[in-house]
Structure 1
Amino acid sequence: MYSYIKGMVTMIFKDHIVLENQGIGYMIYVPNPYSFKTNSDMTVYIYQQVKEDGHLLFGFKSLEEKELFLKLISVKGIGPKTAVGALATLEVERIVGAIESGNINFLKKIPGIGPKAAGQIILDLQGKIVLHNEPSINPAFDEAIEVLVALGYREADVVKIMKKIEDDALDTNGYVKQALSLLVK
Structure 2
Amino acid sequence: MIYSLKGTVQQLNPTSVVVDVNGVGYFVGISLQTSEKLTLGEATFLHIQQIIREDAHLLFGFNTILEKELFNLLISVNGVGPVSALIMLSSLSIDEIANAILSGNSLLLQKVKGIGAKTAERIIVDLRDKVQKFSVSGENISNFADNKVKDEALSALEVLGIPKKTSEKIADRLLKTTPAYSVEDLIKQILKNI
Fold in common (TM above 0.5): yes
* Unaligned stretches of 5+ residues in structure 1: 143-165, 180-185
> Which whole-Å CA distance do the structure 1 matches of 2:50 and 2:39 have between them?
23
Query: Which runs of no fewer than 5 residues in structure 2 stay unpaired?
Result: 135-142, 169-194
The answer for the alignment partner of 2:124 in structure 1 is 122
Question: Residue by residue, what CA displacement relative to the aligned partner does 1:47-77 show, whole Å, maximum 9, x if unpaired?
Answer: 0010001100001111111111011011111
Q: How does 1:80-99 map to 2 (within 5 A)?
A: 80-99=82-101
Q: CA deviation at 1:14?
A: 4.6
CA distance in 1, matches of 2:149, 2:14: 39
Change (3 A) 1:22 1:113: same
Q: Distance in 2 between matches of 1:53 and 1:95?
A: 30
Rounded Cα–Cα distance in structure 2 between residues aligned with 1:54 and 1:175? 50
1:23 correspondence with 2:23: yes
Give, as a single letter, the amino acid of the residue that structure 2 aligns with 1:89: S
**Aligned AA for 2:51?**
Q
Alignment check: 8 A CA contact 1:16 1:30 kept = yes
Q: State the Cα distance separating 1:4 from its structure 2 match.
A: 1.2
The residue number in structure 2 matching 1:103 is: 105
Structure holding more helix per residue: 2
Q: TM-score, normalised by structure 2?
A: 0.69
- 1: CA distance between counterparts of 2:102 and 2:108? 12
Give the TM-score of the pair, scaled to structure 1. 0.73
Counterparts of 1:1-185 in structure 2, within 5 Å, are 1-32=1-32, 34-35=35-36, 36-129=38-131, 130-131=133-134, 133-134=144-145, 136=148, 168=155, 169-170=157-158
Q: CA RMSD in A?
A: 2.7
How many residues are paired up?
A: 152
